[in-house]
Structure 1
């Protein structure tokens, strides 16, 4: 009886485990690869808030008593801007020496107090200007000085967080210039470089 007991136990064990081998060998199914969605790079905008100072150089031409007068203008400026997001508001004080002259009149210098308001385009700031301008001039050998108004447009471009390049076109108007009996006007176009701090 013992002779049949061991083979019977082996057959029973084989019968229990046989279904595990019924399918044969199969390759394991690879796990699906999940690739994350691409993330758009974050582009940091320029914050125009803060003070700045710089130098300008350009060209100017006159009208009225300074008709046909033209020559170089150059100077320095400083101001402060506040960035509200898309809108930037600021003030600036500028001094420009001038070589604008004709046979009758010469414009010696401009001192301007300007309000700047513009649109933040990221690395560029496009703005408009209004303000008061004080000028010293010579008309027919007499020295005159008076306060008028200025308006114009400009653009600044941020090369780095501190260094800006720009350009500004301004119209300067003086009605009845210093009781001389003459009107005086001048247009200036200047290139600007400034340091922000």
Structure 2
């Protein structure tokens, strides 16, 4: 039997004040808990006390986006804290048309009403991409024309950062939304958004359970 000392690393000593001295500087070490990627449902109130049911998609990269359903049965996607767009714009930007949306949801009547209430006719994916781009950069008053550079920028800043679920996020989403998407598909798909919207509708009408996003 041969004994050998193996160096695993430096472990700083804690002083009487509860801090660690690292390179001559007092430091406090804390654990960082990362929420598991997937989709979570909650009920939140705004500054005016108006409550809304929300769903939060947490990506594998830590980015997230939130959708909410108001009292008028309209579903919005939060691009930022101050800006939101109709979920229809997101779905059309992902390649669906109005017929695809109505044929692949469990509550087409609600989505049909959303289509009727939508201001401005956005039919093509190019128009929807431009609309998302405007809200992402707070440029709603600027006349922007679709281009390949806008598409790539939106892919980088929104879809890749906020919609990449990863293997664990895909598994969690499949379980939550009763989907059968292969775990090799790591990005959020239109069918995920449609199923998530259906689940939001069910929760708002008392047919589902809310999540505790901080539950370990």
* TM-score computed with the length of structure 2 as normaliser: 0.27
TM-score (norm 1): 0.29
Q: Select the structure that is richer in helix.
A: 2
Higher RCO structure, 1 or 2 (CA under 8 Å, sep 6+): 2
